[in-house]
Amino acid sequence: MDGSRRLRVLCSPNAFRGTLTAAAAAAALAAGVHDAGALARAMPMADGGDGTLETLLSASSSARIERHVVCGPLGGRLVARLGWMDATTAVVELAETSGLRRIRGRPDPLRATSRGAGELITRALDGGARRILVGIGGSACTDGGAGLLAALGVKLLDGRGRQLGLGGGALMALESADLRDLDPRLRLCRVEVVSDVDSPLLGRLGAAHVFGPQKGATDAEVDRLADGLQRLAEVLERDAHVPAALRDQAGAGAAGGSGYGLAVTGAALLSGASLVADAIGLDQAISESDVVVTGEGRLDRQTAAGKAPLEVGRRSARLGVTCIAVAGEVRSDPGGFRRSISLADLAGPGEDPRRVPRRLLRRAGAQIVREMAAGS
């Protein structure tokens, strides 16, 4: 750089799912920015999916992590992290207990359960939480939150008066629901659901049809899961007077309907990217920068539905700061960025973006600085 002041670059990507955490992606971009002689600040972003726990805790100087043994996605026991931003604000990441990343071997979309997330919420209440942030991306389950509801004291019974088995495949056996034993401490605690999708519970745009195939469900299993979610909503509305409007609320279909289950308990369904951005002080960081670099594994139509890069781009535009997106693959440009860069286009002979993402992100960071310095 030949100016008296070096370019200030904020590196604020989402996780590159399956390859890099948001923190690792931010560090790689920042390294490239430094290579080109500019100043870099790494500020990982999240939107409710994988990495939300780490991103939220990074914003707090008093953050801490507990570990608890809870129900895993297919019913076994595992150790999951519960985060605390301060003495009364807890962070639960559903993917810690019920995520696809916690399944070893073949997914089982009919048996996968959200129960572990409910158990972590109970541990947070035991610890004195008055506010609980629940990130619900990256799940393996499509049970409408039935598992987490059961962990919080809700009775979901079959025709013989027994608690339902695990997973969305069991929901068609549901005959009655009773919320009277729902943990009463939830009335004294604000639960905020941090979601990266705005899907409703039911229908062709709902939890089963949109996300079931991504969790390993066949066409027949998707239909069974959709029917089960319909049954869950009908019984809760009939027996527990749950408002019918909850099934259509934006985000109800997130995490296989876990958004719906949490809304049944009184939780607020919120835009994950917006909440995280506020929590980490993103606006202030943007205002102190000359250019912002964001991104994720793939830019496509889902990015435009509320993913972290779109939130970074919108805030940058509002504050008058240039924003550039970097992704492993650019299938469509959701708008809001000066330009979008595909790592595939930066790869040299023999370089697979999925195998060397750090190297290519570093290359992207340096290229962006050189282009900005050249006025392009």
Q: Are residues 292 and 268 in the same domain?
A: no
Q: Are residues 264 and 128 in the same domain?
A: yes
Give residue 96's pLDDT.
94
Residue 51 domain-assigned? no
Residue 50 domain-assigned? no
Distance, in Å, from the CA atom of 333 to the CA atom of 194, rounded to the nearest integer, reads 24
Q: Using the 3D structure, point to which of 251, 273, 295 is the last residue of a domain.
A: 273
Distance, in Å, from the CA atom of 49 to the CA atom of 145, rounded to the nearest integer, reads 16
Give residue 299's pLDDT.
82
Q: Are residues 305 and 242 in the same domain?
A: no
CATH code of the domain in which 169 resides: 3.90.1510.10
Residue 149 domain-assigned? yes
Residue 2 domain-assigned? no
Q: Are residues 238 and 305 in the same domain?
A: no
Q: Using the 3D structure, point to which of 273, 295, 316 is the last residue of a domain.
A: 273
Distance, in Å, from the CA atom of 234 to the CA atom of 220, rounded to the nearest integer, reads 21
Q: Are residues 107 and 26 in the same domain?
A: no
Q: Are residues 164 and 299 in the same domain?
A: no
Residue 300 domain-assigned? yes
Q: Are residues 267 and 318 in the same domain?
A: no
Give residue 4's pLDDT.
56
Reduced 3-state DSSP string for the chain: CCCCCCCEEEECCCCECCCECHHHHHHHHHHHHHHCCCEEEECCCCCCCCCHHHHHHCCCCCCEEEEEEEECCCCCEEEEEEEECCCCEEEEEHHHHHEHHHCCCCCCCCCCCCHHHHHHHHHHHHCCCCEEEEECCCECCCCCCHHHHHHCCCEEECCCCCECCCCHHHHHHCCEEECCCCCHHHHHCEEEEEECCCCCCCCCCCHHHHHCHHHCCCHHHHHHHHHHHHHHHHHHHHHCCCCHHHHHCCCCCHHHHHHHHHHHCCCEEEEHHHHHHHHHCHHHHHHCCCEEEEEEEEECCCHHHCCHHHHHHHHHHHCCCEEEEEEEEECCCCCCCCEEEEHHHHCCCCCCCCCCHHHHHHHHHHHHHHHHHCCC
Give residue 1's pLDDT.
43
Q: Are residues 21 and 128 in the same domain?
A: no
What residues have CB less than 8 Å from 271, skipping those under 6 apart?
Answer: 47, 195, 306, 311
Residue 26 domain-assigned? yes
How many domains does the chain contain in total? 2
Q: Are residues 268 and 312 in the same domain?
A: no
Q: Using the 3D structure, point to which of 273, 298, 313 is the last residue of a domain.
A: 273
By residue count, the chain amounts to: 376
CATH code of the domain in which 362 resides: 3.40.50.10350
How far apart, in Å, are the Cα atoms of 1 and each of 7, 194, 202, 361, 370? 8, 40, 54, 20, 9
Residue 259 domain-assigned? yes
Q: Are residues 31 and 172 in the same domain?
A: no
Give pLDDT < 70 ranges for the chain: 1-4, 304-305, 376
Residue 268 domain-assigned? yes
Residue corresponding to tokens 């040299």:
348
Q: Are residues 68 and 195 in the same domain?
A: yes
Q: Are residues 171 and 250 in the same domain?
A: yes
Domain hosting 107: range is: 60-273
